[in-house]
Amino acid sequence: MEKIAIFPGSFDPITLGHFDIIKRGIPLFDKIIVAIGVNADKKYMFSLEERKHFI
């Protein structure tokens, strides 16, 4: 059975802490899905497209 992790967040901006969590998960999971959240009530520093590009 494939082990899949889902890492949700706004990633605005993505930080070294976010990257560290992803890096630590690589040996533990077969796949890590980074789920970028969008909240219409929140003002973002970066657009969704920019956040995708950063990741």
Q: How many domains does the chain have?
A: 1
pLDDT band at 40 (very low <50, low <70, confident <90, very high): confident
**Residue 5 clears pLDDT 90, i.e. is over it:** yes
Cis peptide before 13 (omega within 30 of 0): yes
Q: What are phi and psi of 22, to 5 degrees?
A: -65, -45
Question: What is d(CA 55, CA 33) in angstroms, rounded to the nearest whole number?
Answer: 11
pLDDT band at 8 (very low <50, low <70, confident <90, very high): very high
Task: From 42, 39, 38, 36, select the one nearest 14 (Cα to Cα).
Answer: 36
- Full residue range of the structural domain in which residue 9 is found: 4-54
End-to-end CA distance of the chain: 27
Share of the chain above pLDDT 70, in %: 100
